[in-house]
Amino acid sequence: MEPIDSAFEAFTRLSKEVGEYLHSVITESDTRMKVIDRMFVEVLGWPRLELMTETHSEAGYADYSLMGDGLCRAVVEAKRDGRSLGCESRAGGRAYKLDGPVFSDGNAQEGITQAISYCAEQGAELACVTNGREWIIFRANRRGDGHPVRQGHAFVFPNLGEIETSFRRFFQLLSRDSVLSRGYIPEFQETEGNPIRMSVFNKAVRPQGSARSIPQSALAADMEKVMTTFFRRLTGDDDPQLIEACFVESDDSRTAERQLTRIAESMTARIKDLETGGGAQLVELIRRTADTQRHEFVVIVGQKGSGKSTFVTRFFNLVLPEPLAKQCSVLQVDLADNPGSLETLVDWLDRAFLAQAEIALFEGSPNFDQLKGAFFDEYTRLKKGPWKVLHDTDFSEFSQRFGDHIEQLRSTQPHVYLEGLIRSVVGGRKQVPVLVFDNTDHFDIDFQQRVYQYAQSLYERTFCLVILPITDRTSWQLTKHGAIQSFEHESFFLPTPGTQQILRKRVEFLESKIDSDEGGGRYFTDRGVSLAVRDLRAFTNALQRLFLQSATTADWIGALANYEIRRALNIANHFIVSPHLRVEDLVGAYLAGTSVNVENNVIERALIRGRYDIYPQAMHDSVQNVYALEASMETTPLLGVRLLQALADVPTIEREGAFIEIENLEAVATTMSIDARATRMWIDQLLKTGLILNFDPTVLDVDKASRVEISPAGGLHLAWARSSFEYLVAMSVTTALLDEVRHSEIRLASERQRFRTMAASFAEYLAAEDSLFCMVPDHTTYSSQSRIRSGLLESAAKWRVQRRR
């Protein structure tokens, strides 16, 4: 049932009960306790905790202060039932001017004046004056819109019967959710003669789904095969050469490799000591028991997408010397396969590592003798203890029961079974168990912390090397709470490599394979690439021109990917084969010995439109239409730009970044007279599209978010949305326009390919719409916000002048 339906049922019950005891409502206290309290709590959804009474301010004592998030959201002035407010004969749900004759009654004037004073003191916007029968609801604080309070309007409900008749409006004005989100604003805007617009026109020049794919040339199709081979994959699972050649090393990664190698050497040496130590060593070994059984815990810290998984895979496959690698039994679990439930996480990890351990020890399912060896301590305990008689009299039955016992242990206590297998890796195989928790950063911080706790439990109870890649945010949280400092560990920071470095490695690897094939190799043909070597060499030259001669392209690709390596490679792949880029021209120019320059606007167009003739609305993975992120509520199309700008203005704090509380970001928009409900909806979409990031970047829901910052992708979108010619042209035909005249101008300009006219008209449209919904304070704090609208108009004027020339 919808909230308004539940509220109406509650109101119906209340109205009936009040009718039965209305004769007993005499004093103001009676009115408040028997009518007003119940109306706000039972009908309008206000918790009693948020219904504060007799709140003191310099203006006096407000009868009620309706609180939300610790702030006063509305003030209610109560009068006793016998004091008429002079509204008994008025139509219910109608609005009248506060300074008009309807509210000339002395009691009404007194209540209105008191409410205005209390709202001014407490910073509340909405006010209500009521005697339990009559209800007057108005804006007692105009939030800087320039209109005098008493020239505004107030809604009147003369009795409970009229509330029932106009319940939708009553609920919209006073319900908790509506008051907290300022959902009452449209009601006042409409009645005060300031509707947002009278027209219902809402149409894009090119509606969603109308984007047409541009056919590829045969050469471009062949190039796509090359890109798929070398740029789409990250880990190179089926091509060890790729992972070896294309991993971007840094001083930090090399330090981590040296330290991990040292740890592996140290741990394998300890196992050898246990195996071969003689009498002279035994005394020393006993003295160093803690050291010989000492385990190691390694935390690899890096941003999501910084290559932590690749680093670990590469280390054990390629970096660690082979003799040492053979003495390590790597049990690697990919948490990307986990469904994400905290309740089942421990059991899932137990069974995932259990399966890996059985593969490492037994190459699959163990036989009886292998189980006996793995759990020989348990076998010996049962043989000498509780099952001794059975062992001595019926060995076959003893063996059967032991097998059942171990299987029961595996089924009901997988963690204990896993610990036994890990001990067997050490005692039986004389190897170091290496437990790798891969891709934990696919989940939120709470999930990563739970994985950390699980890893710690294995670390405490077994001899093993634990490798736990986590995000820098999780590391900071664990350090802040002291959990990661509770035992010795090694931490290595893995910085995210620059996108240009990543692309350079791929291009260099591609060139090396071309040289190989030129000498008779078959690297490309074995992978389904039939291009001639000279064409491949020309293609790599084109890649160098695009990616390496200027950092702009790589920087844009990295920003759109939020510097996640996988996403950056995918974006690079799609970018290269975009028909707008015409990479075949670059290849042809190289073969002809000529030169072709690729301008930044062409690069922008290829990134924005991909393989389509226009921007593919709702189909693009990395580029968003920041003017149309949310369409369910009418507001300024520049709301997304303004929110991104507000976040871009937040100063960076060392170790914490440039974060701001969600409530503070909403307050910035509210100060500019933007509806709070719209702001929250747009913040939600900014999170979901990755243009802003929560402190825990896996949180994509505004209701679960706490502190947010602008992302690299958001920063690029902000720059494009404020001044990019290509971006404005692309979005001018895909954004639903509410102005029919502008729509016609842009449509005609599009048909005639007058792109400057399209960009100019759209920029003017955005500025005009923004002026309807947004009023920027004249203050230095908001100077960057002031420049958004003026900057668009300046760009529009420039483009129109260029068009006339």
Asked, for residue 780, whether it belongs to a domain, the answer is: yes
Q: What is the mean pLDDT of each run of 10 residues along the chain (805 residues)?
A: 91 86 64 86 94 77 88 90 85 91 91 92 92 93 81 94 94 93 84 63 92 82 70 53 67 72 64 43 34 64 75 81 85 90 92 90 84 86 91 91 91 90 84 87 80 86 83 62 53 77 78 68 57 69 72 89 84 86 74 72 94 93 95 91 96 75 92 87 96 88 91 97 97 95 95 96 96 90 95 95 69
- Distance in angstroms (rounded) separating the CA atoms of residues 555 and 550: 9
Could you say which DSSP state residue 231 is in? I
Residue 589's pLDDT is 66
- Distance in angstroms (rounded) separating the CA atoms of residues 714 and 689: 9
Closest CA relative to residue 425, chosen from 434, 415, 413: 434
Note whether 285 and 291 are within 8 A (CB). no
Query: How many alpha carbons lie under 13 Å from residue 570 in its C-beta half-sphere?
Result: 12
Q: Which residues contact 779 (CB under 8 A, 6 or more apart)?
A: none
Q: Scan for tokens 């009718």, then name that residue.
A: 19
Q: Which residues contact 285 (CB under 8 A, 6 or more apart)?
A: 273, 274, 277, 292
Asked, for residue 210, whether it belongs to a domain, the answer is: no
Q: Look up residue 95 and give its two tokens.
A: 């609005």
Note whether 505 and 245 are within 8 A (CB). yes
Note whether 645 and 785 are within 8 A (CB). yes
- Distance in angstroms (rounded) separating the CA atoms of residues 153 and 790: 33
Asked, for residue 618, whether it belongs to a domain, the answer is: no
Residue 69: which region, alpha, beta or left (left: phi > 0; alpha: psi -120 to 50)? Answer: left
Q: Look up residue 709 and give its two tokens.
A: 């910052």
Give Dmax over CA atoms of the chain in angstroms: 108
User: Does 520 share its domain with 464?
Assistant: no
The SS3 of residue 118 is helix
User: Does 157 share its domain with 302?
Assistant: no
Distance between the two ends of the chain, CA-based, in angstroms?
Answer: 62
User: Does 504 share its domain with 417?
Assistant: no
- Distance in angstroms (rounded) separating the CA atoms of residues 655 and 395: 64
Please return the burial class of 239, using the count of CB atoms within 10 Å of its CB with bins 0-12, 13-18 and 19+: middle
Note whether 633 and 680 are within 8 A (CB). no
Q: Which residues contact 526 (CB under 8 A, 6 or more apart)?
A: none
- Distance in angstroms (rounded) separating the CA atoms of residues 704 and 695: 11
Q: Scan for tokens 């067997």, then name that residue.
A: 424
- Distance in angstroms (rounded) separating the CA atoms of residues 630 and 613: 24
User: Does 524 share its domain with 474?
Assistant: no
Buried b / exposed e over 93-128, threshold 16 CB at 10 Å, is bbbbbbeeebbebebbeebbebbbbbbbbbebbbbb
Among 493, 511, 529, residue at a domain's last position: 493
User: Does 227 share its domain with 298?
Assistant: no
Query: What is the CA angle 496-497-502, rounded to 5?
Result: 135
Q: Look up residue 727 and give its two tokens.
A: 């971006």
Query: How many alpha carbons lie under 13 Å from residue 34 in its C-beta half-sphere?
Result: 23
**DSSP helix, strand, coil percent of the chain (3-state; round to 5):** 60, 10, 30
Among 437, 469, 493, residue at a domain's last position: 493
Closest CA relative to residue 304, chosen from 690, 658, 560, 565: 565
Closest CA relative to residue 764, chosen from 727, 730, 739, 784: 739
Asked, for residue 615, whether it belongs to a domain, the answer is: no
Residue 223 to residues 234, 281, 581, Cα–Cα distance (Å) = 18, 64, 13
Domain that holds residue 674: 639-804
Q: Scan for tokens 């093993």, then name that residue.
A: 464
Residue 176's pLDDT is 94
The SS3 of residue 352 is helix
User: Does 155 share its domain with 71?
Assistant: yes
* Backbone CA torsion sign across 48, 54, 56, 60: positive
Counted residue by residue, the chain has a size of 805
Residue 482's pLDDT is 47
User: Does 478 share its domain with 559?
Assistant: no
CATH number, position 112: 3.90.1570
Among 477, 493, 509, residue at a domain's last position: 493
Q: Which residues contact 386 (CB under 8 A, 6 or more apart)?
A: none
Q: Scan for tokens 């990134």, then name that residue.
A: 607
Asked, for residue 663, whether it belongs to a domain, the answer is: yes
- Indicate the angle between helix axes 551-560 and 712-723, nearest 10 degrees: 110
Q: Three-state secondary structure along 144-166? A: CCCCCHHHCEEEEECCHHHHHHC
E strand or H helix at 76, and its extent?
A: strand 71-78
Asked, for residue 242, whether it belongs to a domain, the answer is: no
Asked, for residue 622, whether it belongs to a domain, the answer is: no
Buried b / exposed e over 194-212, threshold 16 CB at 10 Å, is eeeeeeeeeebbbeeeebe
User: Does 566 share its domain with 675?
Assistant: no
User: Does 545 share its domain with 464?
Assistant: no
- Indicate the angle between helix axes 499-518 and 565-576, nearest 10 degrees: 60
Q: Scan for tokens 């001669």, then name that residue.
A: 549
- Distance in angstroms (rounded) separating the CA atoms of residues 34 and 678: 36
User: Does 427 share its domain with 510?
Assistant: no
- Distance in angstroms (rounded) separating the CA atoms of residues 532 and 545: 20
Q: Scan for tokens 């890996």, then name that residue.
A: 356
Beta-ladder partners of 438: 334
Residue 493 to residues 225, 252, 298, 302, 469, Cα–Cα distance (Å) = 35, 7, 11, 6, 10
Count of domains in the chain? 4
Asked, for residue 71, whether it belongs to a domain, the answer is: yes
Residue 71's pLDDT is 87
Q: Which residues contact 164 (CB under 8 A, 6 or more apart)?
A: 11, 12, 15
E strand or H helix at 135, and its extent?
A: strand 135-139
Q: Look up residue 414 and give its two tokens.
A: 């997988």
Phi, psi of 336 (to 5 degrees): -65, -20
Write the single-letter amino acid at 546: L
User: Does 484 share its domain with 506?
Assistant: no
Q: Look up residue 302 and give its two tokens.
A: 């890096």
Please return the burial class of 442, using the count of CB atoms within 10 Å of its CB with bins 0-12, 13-18 and 19+: middle
Note whether 45 and 96 are within 8 A (CB). no
User: Does 152 share its domain with 275?
Assistant: no
Closest CA relative to residue 67, chosen from 17, 123, 117: 123
